[in-house]
Amino acid sequence: MSGHKLGRTTEDIKRELTAIFRELKDPRVNSCFLSIVRVEVTSDLSYCTVYVSALEGLDQAKNAVKGLKSASGFIRRELGLRLRLRHVPELIFTPTDSIEYSAEISRILNSLDIRHDEEEDDETDNA
């Protein structure tokens, strides 16, 4: 499969999985703010690795992945109906802590005492 078509299919899968996740009734999935970080599809569309992160942390993401694995048959069927793929890839859900990590970096950056703006104001006042 060409790179452009594979990339478009990957984005379609990510978009549809996001919609399907909202429809799931499993409390392990609904109880947290779940986000699909990245989707990787093999070139023959046999496997699809979905990296999932939760705002509440890695432990909550691991718990949500258990719920997603138990609902993988439903998710895969829905994906096949929505995208009309000849072969729907087998879904592999992997937890990651990227949202928690980026939130922590944001907190650190916001807590820094940056005096850059104050120095520029002083220089313009002196000129």
Residue pLDDT, tens place only, 27-77: 888 888 888 999 999 988 899 999 999 888 888 889 999 999 999 999 999
pTM: 0.76
Sheet holding 90-96, edge to edge: 34-41, 47-54, 90-96
105: exposed, middle or buried (Cβ count in 10 Å: 0-12, 13-18, 19+):
exposed
How many structural domains compose the chain?
1
Question: Which amino acid, residue 108?
Answer: I
Give the range of the structural domain holding residue 39, as residue numbers without chain letter.
3-97
- pLDDT surpasses 80 at 84: yes
Q: Is residue 44 part of a domain?
A: yes
CATH number at residue 42: 3.30.300.20
Per the CB < 8 A criterion, the answer to whether 40 and 92 are in contact is no
Question: Which amino acid, residue 118?
Answer: E
Q: Is residue 74 part of a domain?
A: yes
Q: Is residue 118 part of a domain?
A: no
Q: Is residue 85 part of a domain?
A: yes
Q: Is residue 86 part of a domain?
A: yes
